[in-house]
Structure 1
Amino acid sequence: MIKRHTRAEQQQHIDAWKLSGLTKQDYCEQQGITLSNFYYWMKNHNNNTDTAPAASAFIPARRISVDVNRPEAVTLNLPNGCSVSCLPAQLRSVMQALSLC
């Protein structure tokens, strides 16, 4: 029997895939979703959200502690588990580059 997904479920899958770090194909295989359906959902949801602000446009940041080995470095711990270290003078450029991802 074919499972039909509501628009909310489709969006949840799209959001979960974006955070997963997996390829679309790997995510779909793990979730039992056909790749063609997933592409269709993405096309439908992207067309309807062009005027809405991107949900991932905000990256939460907080200061944890100063790295005693590199006290001049700023480390950004991203929601996907990656970390980026840079000098404070480079922070603006790094944040701009991250916003393009």
Structure 2
Amino acid sequence: MKTSEEKMLAVEAWRVSGMTQQEYCKTLGVKRTTFANWVSRNKRKRAVSNFVRVTATTVITPTLIDVVYPNGVIVKASSDDLKTLSNLIRLY
């Protein structure tokens, strides 16, 4: 049995596939009547939901930040670890 998220993704994939429900069900290995129920539920969820699915197209990579102490010690820390950076700044 598929989860509701998997069912929704399958319906969305069918919508963009250009296949008929019958053709898509054969590739998915699901009865057409079962899939038709998924489509029906998906339509209701789409009508109720005010949210739009957004996918990220860029990846933000963390950079290294140098924490330089007055005694000359330099510590490199990742910019995405704010707790560690905060502790390093307060350390001295």
Question: Equivalent residue for 2:41?
Answer: 44
Which amino acid is the alignment partner of residue 34 of structure 2? Answer: N
Question: Equivalent residue for 1:24?
Answer: 21
**Mapping of residues 10-89 of structure 1, within 5 Å:** 10-53=7-50
Deviations 1:27-78 (A, max 9, x none): 000110110110111111211221335859xxxxxxxxxxxxxxxxxxxxxx
Q: Which runs of 5+ in 2 are unaligned?
A: 54-92
**Counterpart-to-counterpart distance in 2, 1:36 and 1:55:** 27
Q: Which runs of 5+ in 1 are unaligned?
A: 57-101
What is the aligned residue count? Answer: 53
Two-structure CA RMSD over aligned residues (Å): 2.0
Q: 1:16 to 1:32 in 2, by over 3 A?
A: same
TM-score by length of structure 2 reads 0.51
Q: Which has the larger radius of gyration?
A: 2
The sequence identity of aligned pairs, in percent, is: 25
Which amino acid is the alignment partner of residue 14 of structure 2? Answer: W
**Counterpart-to-counterpart distance in 1, 2:19 and 2:51:** 20
The structure with the largest helix share of the pair is 2
TM-score by length of structure 1 reads 0.47
